[in-house]
Amino acid sequence: MHHLSLGPSRRRATAAAARPRRPRHRLGRAAAVVAAAALLTTGLPTGPAAADDPAPAAAPGTPSASIGPVNYAVAVDESGSLKPADLERERAAAVRIALGEVHPASTVGVFGFASADNAGQHPVDEVCPPTVLDAAGRDRIGTCIAKLHSRAPDEGQGTDFPNAVLQGVGRLGDGTDPAVPRVLFVLTDGKLDVSDSPAYGDPAHRAAAGEEALTRALAAAKAANIQIWPLGFGAEIDRAALDRMAAGGFQEGCVSLPGARPRASVVQDSGAVGTALEAAFAAAHCLRAEPGNTGHPPADLPVRISPLATVGSIVVDKGDPQVTATYFDPSGKQITGPGSDPDSTFEFSGRDQSVESLRITDPVPGDWRVHLDAPEGHRDQLASVSVLWRGALNSSITLTPPSPRAGEKAVVTLKLQTRKGLAITDQQDLKDLGVTAVLAGEGFPSVPVPLADDGAAPDAKGGDATFTGTVTVPAGATGRITASGTLTASGLAADENRPAASVVSPAVPLVTASFSLDGGASAHPGDGVGGTLTLRNDDAVPHTLRPAVTDLAAGLLTVSPGSVTLAPKESRTVDVTLTVGSAKAFGRLLGDDGVTVGGKVTVVDTSDRDRVLVDSPLSLTVTPPPTFLEQWWWALALAGAVVVLAVLGLLVRRRITRDRSTPAGLELLLLDDGGREIGKHTASAGSRGWYEFEVSGVGGPHPRIVRRPGGTYRVQRSQDGGAVLEIRRRSPSRLSADTPVPLADGLSLGLGAGRRTGPTLPPPRSDERPFATGPSTPSSDYL
C-alpha cells in the first residue's frame, strides 16, 4: 500500500464538445484561435487529482470528479501578415482541434491583437469575452470567433505583445477561482513591433519601451499564476521573444516534469500549427498525445489507446467534409454511438465537417481503426488521425520483510498496475515516469528510499513496471512504520491512497507466517488456485491472523479462509484458495490472450496491532474459459476419425462390389474344335452387369468376337472369380479357364488370365444371394 501523488492537485481540466461555425475564407485568423480554443477544449483533464482526494465515480457521460474545469484565453495575432495559403491551413488546423470537448464549467476568452497606431485604434479586439463552455456557450464561441480578422492599414498592423498578455491577465484573473488553472495561448506569425504606436513614446525609444512593457506584463502574469504558451509560425518569428514569454509567466506545471513547464513552440509554416497546438495543449494540461497515421481515402488509419486511458479523444483531420469516418474498436466492433459498448460512453462531434472527433470515456484499450471513405473527386486530401488521452494508475507497494526489525535492511517494491490491478506490459505506457518512496514511522524522521526499475539488485527485472530499492529501518523505530510511494507522470493520475503500513517487529518475533502458491500461476475465471500458509505461534496466547488479497479491483480475486486462529505454541500449515472472479467481473479486460492480475497476498496479525506477517506480490495470469471445441477437441477428433474410417470402408466395399460385378476386364478366348486359341477379346463394362457380343465369321478362316448389344451371347462376372455365359434361348453356363463352353460350328468360349482384374471377396454364404440388381433371371444361380 502506498501513497501516489502526481504534482499539484490544483491542475485539473476537462471537456465538452465545441462546435465552432466554419469561418469564411477571409477569416483565417479565426482559424488560428479556433485551433487554440479547440485544443484547450479537448475534453481531457489538465492535470491529476490529488492522491488524498479520491474522486467519486461519475455518472455515465459526465466528467469524472477528478477532471475539473480550466480557465483559459487565446490571443490571436491580427497584424494581417498571413498569406492566403497560410489562412487556409490555419483554418484546417483550427477545425482539427476545435472539435474536442471541455468541462461544462470551464471558461474561455478569445481576443485578437495587433497595435494602436493612432488615437482611434485599439491594440486588442475582444471578440469572445470569458464564456462558460456549456452547450449554449460553445455555440456563442463559434459565432464570436468569426469576428477575428486581419487588420487593415487604417486599423493598426503592428504586434503589441505587452497589451496581449495584459488582456489575458485581466480576463483570467478577473473574478475567477484561483484554484482553477489559468492558461494563456498566444498565436503569432511575427515579432514585437510597436514602432508606430504613440502610446510607447518617442519613435526612437518605442522598441525599448515595448520590451520594458512586456517585462511588466509577464511579471503580472506570473503573479496571477497564469501560464503562457506561445506558438509561432512563419519566417518572421522572434524565437527568443517567444521563449521569454513562456519563461516569464507562471512556471508550475501540472507535474514537476520539464515537459509540463510552459514553453514556446515554433513551426516553419501554418501547415504544422495543428500538430504543434495539440502537443502544446497536451503538455499544458497533462495529457498524453499519441500521433496516429496518415493516408488518402479510402484508407484504414490505426491509432492506439493505452490500457491506462480513462478518457480520450480520437481526432480525425479528413481534409474534406465529404470524407466519412467509421470507427472500430480493437475487437472490430463498429462504434455507432451510445450503446456500442456497455462499459464506455461515446460522443461524436463535427461529422459533417472537414475535422471530426470521437470522445470516449473508459475506452477499450488497444489498436483502434478509423476507416475513411469518400466519393470520387474528394480523395486528394491527406487525412490524419491522432488521440489525446488521460489515464489513471494503480499500484502495489510491499516491504520485505513485511515487519522488519529496527536497524534491519528492508526492500521496498512498488509495482505499477492499471486501475483494475492488472499488469502493465507495454513500455510505451510507462515513459517519463518519476517514482520515489519514503519510509516514515514512530521514533524516527522520514527516510527517502530511491527506487529503480533497471534490473540491478535488488530490482529483479528491468522495464517491468516494478521499482525496487533498499532502506535501513532506523534504530529508533519503536512502533508503526509506513512505506509510501510518489509517482510523477504527465497524463497519469493515481487513483488510490494506500501506503504500506506495518509494525516494527521485535528482535525475536513470536508469530511468523509464509505463503506459497501451489502449481502454475494461471487460471480461468471461476477457478480456484491453491496455496499454502505455513504458520507458527510461539506466544503463550492465541493469535488470530487475517489473509487477504489487496491492490486490485474488487471481485477479481478473493481468498479463503478469511481468518485463521493459532493456539498457543501451535505450528501448522493451512490450505488457502484464491478464487478467480467470473468472466463478467473481468468484462472486456479478458481478451483472447488473457490478462495478468497483480496485487498481493497479505496476512496480518489482528492480535498484534495488525502487524504484517506476509506481504507477497502476486502475478496470476487469467485466460478466457475454454470453448466447447477447446475442451472436447480430442473427442471430436476421435469421432471424426471413426467417421472417416467408416466412410473409407464403405467406399472400399462399394469399389470391391463394383469391380466384382462388372464384366469389364474379362478376357474371352475363342477356341477351335481342338481347343486351340484362335481369338482373344477383352470385355468392357456392358449394360446392367452383362457384356453382350456376337461371334462373326463363323465357318470362315478367321472367326472373331465382336461387341454387339442384343447379340446372341452375353457374359457376366461371378463372385468366385469366374464368369457366367448366357446364350440366347439356352440355359446359362459357368465359364472358367478350365471349363470352356461350346458355341456353334465346333467353336467354344473360354476364360483367359485377365479375368481377375478386381479384388476378390470370399465366396458368399450359402444362405445369401450373391448378386442381384433386379428381378431374378435364369442365371441367378450361377452368380
Q: Are residues 523 and 597 in the same domain?
A: yes
Q: At what angle are helices 206-223 and 161-173 packed, to 10 degrees?
A: 20
Q: Are residues 504 and 549 in the same domain?
A: yes
Q: Are residues 27 and 158 in the same domain?
A: yes
Q: Are residues 167 and 92 in the same domain?
A: yes
Residue 323 has a pLDDT of: 94
How far is Cα 301 from Cα 253, in angstroms, rounded to an integer? Answer: 33
Residue 445 lies in a domain: yes
Measured CA angle at 645 (ends 641, 647), to 5 deg: 115
- Given 658, 674, 707, which residue is the final one in a domain? 658
Across 459-521, the runs of DSSP E, i.e. the strands, are: 466-472, 480-488, 492-494, 500-503, 511-517
How far is Cα 691 from Cα 711, in angstroms, rounded to an integer? Answer: 9
Residue 217 lies in a domain: no
How far is Cα 171 from Cα 755, in angstroms, rounded to an integer? Answer: 111
Residue 589 lies in a domain: yes
Residue 135 has a pLDDT of: 57
Q: Are residues 145 and 268 in the same domain?
A: yes
How far, in whole angstroms, is CA 319 from its chain's centroid?
26
- Given 286, 304, 324, which residue is the final one in a domain? 286
Contact 361, 60 (CB under 8 A): yes
Which among 752, 773, 750, 770 has a CA at the least distance from the CA of 761? 770
Residue 117 lies in a domain: yes
How far is Cα 418 from Cα 237, in angstroms, rounded to an integer? Answer: 43
Whole domain around residue 723: which residue ranges? 662-782
Q: Are residues 540 and 498 in the same domain?
A: yes
Q: Are residues 687 and 642 in the same domain?
A: no
Residue 67 has a pLDDT of: 54
Q: Are residues 32 and 160 in the same domain?
A: yes
Q: Are residues 437 and 555 in the same domain?
A: yes
Residue 596 lies in a domain: yes
Residue 364 lies in a domain: no
How far is Cα 411 from Cα 470, in angstroms, rounded to an integer? Answer: 4
Residue that is written with C-alpha cell 481468498 in the block: 559
Residue 94 lies in a domain: yes
Indicate which CATH number applies to the domain containing 497.
2.60.40.10
Amino acid 739 reads T
Contact 770, 777 (CB under 8 A): no
Which among 149, 190, 176 has a CA at the least distance from the CA of 72? 176
User: Domain total for the chain?
Assistant: 4
Residue 352 lies in a domain: no
Q: Are residues 520 and 591 in the same domain?
A: yes
- 561: three-class secondary structure by DSSP: coil
Q: Are residues 614 and 636 in the same domain?
A: no
Residue 103 has a pLDDT of: 58
Which among 95, 96, 46, 91 has a CA at the least distance from the CA of 72? 46
Q: Are residues 548 and 639 in the same domain?
A: no
| Side-chain half-sphere exposure of 439, counting CA atoms within 13 A | 31
- Given 604, 638, 658, which residue is the final one in a domain? 658
Q: What is the mean pLDDT of each run of 10 residues along the chain (783 residues)?
A: 35 34 36 38 36 34 49 82 58 45 69 87 88 68 74 87 94 84 85 90 92 94 92 83 93 73 82 73 76 90 89 84 93 85 80 78 90 93 86 82 89 83 74 81 90 87 86 89 80 64 80 83 84 91 92 85 93 91 78 78 90 85 78 84 89 72 85 87 84 88 88 84 82 83 87 54 40 37 35
Neighbours of 621 (CB within 10 A): 14
Q: Which helix (H) or strand (E) holds 316?
A: strand 309-317
Indicate which CATH number applies to the domain containing 690.
2.60.200
The DSSP annotation for 227-285 comes to EEEEEEESTT--HHHHHHHHHHS----SSSSGGGS---EEESSGGGHHHHHHHHHHHHT
The pTM of the full predicted model, rounded to 2 decimals, is 0.62
Residue 34 has a pLDDT of: 37
Helices (H), 627-765: 628-661
Residue that is written with C-alpha cell 533497471 in the block: 454
Contact 254, 285 (CB under 8 A): yes
Q: What is the 3-state secondary structure (H, E, C) of 584-623?
A: HHHHHHCCCCCEEECCEEEEEECCCCCEEEEEEECCEEEC
How far is Cα 226 from Cα 223, in angstroms, rounded to an integer? Answer: 8
Which among 363, 381, 386, 364 has a CA at the least distance from the CA of 315? 386
